[in-house]
Amino acid sequence: MGNGFSLFPAQASTFAPDVDALYFFVLAVSAFFALAIAVAVIVLGVKYRRRHVGEVGARVEGNLVLELLWSIIPTMITMVMFGWGASVYYHLRRAPDEALQVYAVGKQWMWKFQHLEGQREINELHVPLGRAVKVTIASEDVLHSLYFPSFRQKMDAIPGRYTTLWFEASQVGTYHIFCAEYCGTNHSRMIGQVVVMEPAAYQSWLSGGGEGSLAQRGAALFQQLACNSCHLDSGQGRGPSLKDIFGKPVEFQDGSSTIVNEAYLRESILTSQAKIVKGFQPLMPTFQGLISEEGLVALIEHVKSLSPNASTAPPAAAPAPAAPPAPATPPRR
Amino acid sequence: MEATPTLPALHYLNNGYGLKSWLLTKDHKRIAILYLISISVFFFLGGLMALLIRLELATPEADLLSSDTYNKAFTLHGVIMVFFFLIPSIPATLGNFFIPMMVGAKDLAFPRINLLSWYIYLVGGIFTFYALAAGGVDTGWTFYTPYSAAVSNTHVIATALGVFIAGFSSILTGLNFVVTIHRMRAPGMTWFRLPLFVWAHYATSLIQILGTPVIAITMLMVFVERAFGFGIFDPARGGDPVLFQHLFWFYSHPAVYIMILPALGVMSELIAAFSRKKVFGYSFVAFSSLAIAVFSFIVWAHHMFVAGISVYSAMVFSFLSFSVAIPSAVKVFNWTATLYKASISFETPMLYAYGFMGLFTFGGLTGLILATLGTDVHLHDTYFVVAHFHYIMVGGAIMGYLGGLHYWWPKMVGRMYNEFLSRIAAILVFVGFNLTFFPQFVLGYLGMPRRYHMYPPEFQVLNVLSSAGASVLGLGYVLPLLYLLYSLKKGAVAGPNPWGAAGLEWRTSSPPPTENFPITPRVTTEAYEFEPQMAPEFKLV
Amino acid sequence: MSHIASVKSYVTIFLILMVMTTITVAVAFVHLGFFNKVVAVGIATFKATLVILYFMHVKYSSRLTKLVVVSGFFFLLILLGLTMADYGSRAWIPVPPTLE
Amino acid sequence: MEQQKEASTLGMWTFLLTEILFFGGLFMAYMLYRIWYHDAFAAASRTLDLRWGGLNTVVLIASSLTMALGVRSAQLNRRKPLLLWLLATVVLGSVFLGVKVIEYSDKFEHHHVPGPNFVWESHEAAPAGEHQLGGGGPVTEPGRAASESAGHAPAASNPQFQQWTQIYFSLYFTMTGLHALHMIVGIVLMSVIAWMAWMGRFDDHYYTPVEMSGLYWHFVDIVWIYLFPLLYLIDRS
């Protein structure tokens, strides 16, 4: 960033070369066909230009073989594009299990980032080189879109639910962060920079914070909101114990179950009556409007920290909770 | 042979004078002229907004407009150009004028509904003008919720109602065309003798009929949410803003084909007329229009690949999106093949047709890059998308519209325009267009997001190029306005068939009489039968 | 369109519609789980079909008219089906459930 | 004449095609939210009075019958019966709207109109006449916990539940409002047609306007045939 004029963006993530290769492939095919058509119409235009006023063209009806050829060949070429594109996309969307977790909150008109260790940043994100980073994105107001052009990665921030993206930076440096989804007056000022650091430098940057980790902040909030008066570790409280639940299945009063994940925790805090854990009463008040998006991620991190063995993600393909995405929104102005 | 053609004594233009004879007319040709005037007003208004946008973007800083004003400028540019210019552009003017003539009918099936559609369009336009005059609207033409429904404090309601109302005008035009093409064909005019322009409009009408009601109801839902505090998309009440996007794009993707299909129809006419040859693979070109219309309804979520939709759904929609590329490619290949062993002349309309071939092909192919999932994540909502759809909308639809206008202008007004100036304008449009929008592809891959009022300084060189191109393009658009108006009084008299073209519309006087043909024509030949004696010397009527 | 149906046939259709309305109300008071929805929409569709075929004379109309009617419901199903396909498959991403 | 009639028929059906997709957008929203918020929708649906809804269904289907018989009279060139059937249709349509006014005013009284004044009281969640849930406080076994629903206990005291019922009522008012608007247009149309019949404009060769407005009327009926079970009968068990 700050570097001068260029015609091509920096390749600063592990999948930037993949995306670029795909891009050049489709571009090359496109250029070939565009040029072929351009040359053909010009050559034909010169060769068959009208020589005298009354001339008409020859009678040619059409040709079935040709029609089939130029339908089937492009179809096959586009299927290659589709397959290749879909595999790159799957890679872009599927975060590896051991990814470093970062939270991002978009609001008019800034990006707020929080690290698990407690650092909070605005419009700036520090990430280590060579480590997968998963960003969980929320929005406090309208749609935004978190965009890292040098990483070739982007995801909308949608009020009322979490979305995620991930990347692994491959080159030390400072790169743009943009908001790509129009969000009002200062949409074009909702920009920032992502700083890719050597792992050691990143570690020392992390320890420079001193606010306490995200989970610690969540623990404080847990006390402050009196969550701890019901959610006793012993399981004897009025609410279920939150110890060692993350990544494990939980069963509800109506017999259904789900795997505890961020989305479920978010829903349980904001829409506490949506799912009632089996054996408990629907006593918990809703925290809708009482807690900010940032406080929410701190609480979730706190709950996660109570499940030390669940640091690696739970088994894949959890049975779909046939439920709405945590339908809740932060307070509005 | 050398006799100078004269204007017919009685034609639709001199059949009644005065405002009333125009405002209460049921003649499809006069209604087409009314539309032509009104969409031109909107076109230049939308163009003015584009000018403001490009001027502002010449520098990275915010120096000409405030952010709010800039946002309003691009919103109105989009709303006006999409809903009030491109969607009615070819169907309501050229289609309205020539579809009855091409099928050999006296008028459309429902002349009064045709006039009604123009008034509805005007009412929609007045709502939009009101929004503009009262302070503008800043949601972007896409009206994404929750910004449009709850947050923006501009005139969303008036604009949404304007779009809602204009939608009905579009529906009525489509309905009229479908019924006309089904029921009003002259004796002998079978489906496979119809000009491809008619086929393209038939396909367009299907989209207008099937898609437009969905945008209408979506706008209505935004309206009730904003006006009465209902909650349908409101995330605070559990609503889903992404549902809005599904409904919006269910119409707005097919709407792209409402804009481009008629231009593809014009292209078939131009290529045939100026190469004096039947379009290669007529039935494939005809059916590819219908295929595009049907496929256009199953690809919409490719606008939402990063909007949090399911990974599998994204894959399905990406797959289906490629399917719509094939019939478009088939058309381009067939046009190219038409030029083989043809007799090609390069009057102005053919210059536009050649320009169209280049720009539409390139625009369509860049669409493949956006339909490919892996690259779309990077390119979505960047200037790459802006450049892509301007290649289709401006390079395709407007080139087609201008080409068609120049082709049929002698028929519509009975006089020729200045050929030299019109060629200059066609070249200016082509050069200016590429200079404006090609740099935006590069900007997009560099990562410049769309709807940005300010941008990092390293993007400036390309933006300046684009702004410079826009001024050339603007010149190319103003020039036709001048020489076409001039030709109304001073142009050389054209005669019934100045191009030596085939088709029923050229077999009547220019301008045509109110009832189009002296007697109901009987059709005995295929479309695009160019007999050697149909050269300009030959007089049919 | 020149087909003229008898009064008796119209009244018969009307009575069937009434009976169907009664059934659909009655079924709503019985707990059938998922099948409540199926029955409700099924009966409504049956009633709508009767109205379209007999009251609106589609049974005696041209193939073109029939095609128009069917295509309306076809494109409606595209809208409903492809949109719900997105919502339905969001949860089954085979990635860690942390990714939603 | 024949060509004109065929054109009108095709035109009318094409128009009805757009109407299907017009209401289709609303049905899409309804379907999604009903799946997501089944219990809230069911609870909100139970606040509608089934008697009024049922009456209106009967009235509207009856009006379709009178309309069909009206068209038949026109086909047979019986002017007086045509006029009577058309008037009967207008009367039944007006009865429908009258009932709708009663229902709407009831909603206003109960603050069930979405927006800032919306109020949802917890006892309203109860199936009519059955469990009266203790107001305010959380409830133990709210009626039917182990339902087929998407895992939501219908906990009426939950503020989120209130928001979801608001979505139901937003859709209820938009859908029935739009339907009522179509009814009003239909009644005006029918009155004009009846007047034209009175003036003797129709005979057995020319009755296209009667037939076309009949198609419109039946379509509006069909919309209600779907709206009635979807809005009133979500879950009454």
To the nearest whole angstrom, how far is the Cα of B345 from the nearest Cα of chain A? 5
To the nearest whole angstrom, how far is the Cα of A5 from the nearest Cα of chain C? 37
At C92 the pLDDT is 58
**R_g over Cα of chain C:** 20
Alpha helices in A189-311 (DSSP H): 199-207, 214-224, 262-270, 293-305
Are C28 and D233 spatial neighbours (Cβ–Cβ below 8 Å)? yes
Domains in chain A with CATH codes: 9-45+63-212 (2.60.40.420), 214-310 (1.10.760.10)
Chain A residues with beta carbon closer than 8 angstroms to that of D157: 273
Give me the residue from C64, C71, C83 closest to B246, CB to CB: C83
Q: Above 90 in pLDDT, residue D180?
A: yes
Question: Which of residues A314 and B357 earns the better pLDDT score?
Answer: B357
Between helices B96-103 and B196-228, what is the axis angle to 10°?
Answer: 140
Are B75 and B50 spatial neighbours (Cβ–Cβ below 8 Å)? no
Q: What is the DSSP letter of B535?
A: S
With a CB cutoff of 8 Å and minimum separation 6, the contacts of A19 are A88, A92, A152, B374, B375, B377, B378
Q: Do D160 and A276 touch (CB under 8 A)?
A: no
Q: Which residue ranges of chain B lie beneath pLDDT 70?
A: 1-3, 532-541
Q: Which chains touch D (3 or more CB pairs under 8 A)?
A: A, B, C
* CA-based nearest residue in chain D for residue A267: D160
Dihedral over alpha carbons B193, B195, B196, B198 (to 10 degrees): -110
Q: Do B230 and D115 touch (CB under 8 A)?
A: yes
pLDDT band for A274, please (50, 70, 90 cuts).
confident
Q: If residue A179 lies in a helix (H) or strand (E), which one and from where to where? A: strand A173-179
Q: Which residues on neighbouring strands pair with residue A147, listed in sequence order?
A: A154, A178
Residue A264, phi then psi, degrees to nearest 5: -65, -40
Q: Which residues on neighbouring strands pair with residue A49, listed in sequence order?
A: B344
Residue A117 CA to residue B426 CA, distance in Å, equals: 62
Across chain A, what does the average pLDDT equal? 84
Residue A45 CA to residue D128 CA, distance in Å, equals: 79
Q: Is the Cα dihedral B503, B507, B509, B514 positive or negative? A: negative
Dihedral over alpha carbons A177, A183, A184, A188 (to 10 degrees): 20
Q: Which two tokens stand for residue D153?
A: 């206990």
At D122 the pLDDT is 59
Residue B39 CA to residue B80 CA, distance in Å, equals: 9
Q: Do C83 and B310 touch (CB under 8 A)?
A: no
To the nearest whole angstrom, how far is the Cα of D173 from the nearest Cα of chain B? 9
Find tokens 């006039």 and name the residue.
B115
Q: In whole angstroms, how far apart are CA A197 and each of A130, A136, B316?
A: 9, 20, 38
* CA-based nearest residue in chain C for residue A97: C96
Are A282 and D138 spatial neighbours (Cβ–Cβ below 8 Å)? yes
Residue C42, phi then psi, degrees to nearest 5: -60, -50
Measured between CB atoms, does D68 come within 8 Å of chain A?
no
Q: Among residues D83, A150, A166, C79, which one has the least CA distance to residue B218?
A: C79
Alpha helices in B339-396 (DSSP H): 348-371, 373-379, 383-392
To the nearest whole angstrom, how far is the Cα of B406 from the nearest Cα of chain D? 32
Give me the residue from B210, B221, B228 closest to D115, CB to CB: B228
Q: Do A142 and B151 touch (CB under 8 A)?
A: yes
Give the model confidence (pLDDT) of A81-116 as tens digits.
999 999 999 999 988 888 999 999 999 989 999 998
Half-sphere CA count of A267, side-chain side, radius 13 A: 24
Give me the residue from D7, D163, D173 closest to B109, CB to CB: D7
Q: Where are the domains of chain B?
A: 19-534
Q: Is the Cα dihedral A46, A48, A54, A57 positive or negative? A: negative
Q: Which two tokens stand for residue B316?
A: 């399905």
At B492 the pLDDT is 92
At D1 the pLDDT is 61
Q: Do B211 and D21 touch (CB under 8 A)?
A: yes
Q: Above 80 in pLDDT, residue A2?
A: no
Chain A residues with beta carbon closer than 8 angstroms to that of D139: 282
Q: Which two tokens stand for residue A325?
A: 């995405």
Measured between CB atoms, does C71 come within 8 Å of chain B?
yes
With a CB cutoff of 8 Å and minimum separation 6, the contacts of A151 are A12, A13, A15, A16, A167, A169, A175, A194
Residue B165 CA to residue B157 CA, distance in Å, equals: 12
Q: Do B298 and C79 touch (CB under 8 A)?
A: no
Q: Where are the domains of chain C?
A: 1-61, 62-100
Please state which CATH number belongs to domain B19-534.
Answer: 1.20.210.10
Interface of B with D in 240-259 (CB under 8 A): 240, 243, 246-247, 250
Cα A303 to chain center, whole Å?
22
Residue C95, phi then psi, degrees to nearest 5: -120, 170
Best residue in A267, A273, A291 for a mutation probing chain D (most D CBs within 10 Å): A273
Question: Which of residues B365 and A321 earns the better pLDDT score?
Answer: B365
Q: Is domain D2-127+149-232 annotated with CATH 1.20.120.80?
A: yes
Name which of A227-231, B224-228, B271-275, D10-14 the model is least confident about: A227-231
Question: Count of CB atoms within 10 A of residue A237's CB?
Answer: 15
At C32 the pLDDT is 82
Q: Where are the domains of chain D?
A: 2-127+149-232
To the nearest whole angstrom, how far is the Cα of B18 from the nearest Cα of chain A? 41
Q: In whole angstroms, how far apart are CA B478 and each of A89, B424, B426, B471?
A: 44, 12, 11, 11
Query: Can you state the percent helix, strand and coil of chain B, rounding each to 5?
Result: 70, 0, 30
Residue B494 CA to residue B411 CA, distance in Å, equals: 8
To the nearest whole angstrom, how far is the Cα of D221 from the nearest Cα of chain B? 19
Q: Do B374 and A18 touch (CB under 8 A)?
A: yes
Strand pairing category for A153-157 and A173-179: unpaired
Residue A120 CA to residue D137 CA, distance in Å, equals: 39
Provide the phi-psi class of A247: left if phi over 0, else alpha when psi is between -120 and 50, else beta: left
Q: Which residues on neighbouring strands pair with residue A120, listed in sequence order?
A: A114
Q: Which two tokens stand for residue B395?
A: 């390079």
Half-sphere CA count of A211, side-chain side, radius 13 A: 17
At A1 the pLDDT is 47
- The gap between the terminal CA atoms of chain C, to the nearest Å, is 56
Q: In whole angstroms, how far apart are CA B239 and each of A261, B12, C88, D115, D171?
A: 22, 54, 16, 14, 11
Q: Above 50 in pLDDT, residue D140?
A: no
Q: In whole angstroms, how far apart are CA A275 and each of A267, A284, B476, D141, D167?
A: 9, 11, 63, 14, 20
Complex ipTM, two decimals?
A: 0.88
* CA-based nearest residue in chain D for residue C12: D65
At A86 the pLDDT is 94
Residue B264 CA to residue B254 CA, distance in Å, equals: 15
Give me the residue from B178, B213, B232 closest to D170, CB to CB: B232
Chain C residues with beta carbon closer than 8 angstroms to that of B243: 83
Q: Among residues B172, B167, B190, which one has the least CA distance to residue B248?
A: B167
Give the model confidence (pLDDT) of C18-72 as tens digits.
999 999 999 888 888 788 888 999 999 999 999 999 999 999 888 999 999 999 9
What is the strand order of the sheet A192-197 is part of?
A: A124-128, A192-197, A173-179, A144-148, A153-157
To the nearest whole angstrom, how far is the Cα of C51 from the nearest Cα of chain D? 7
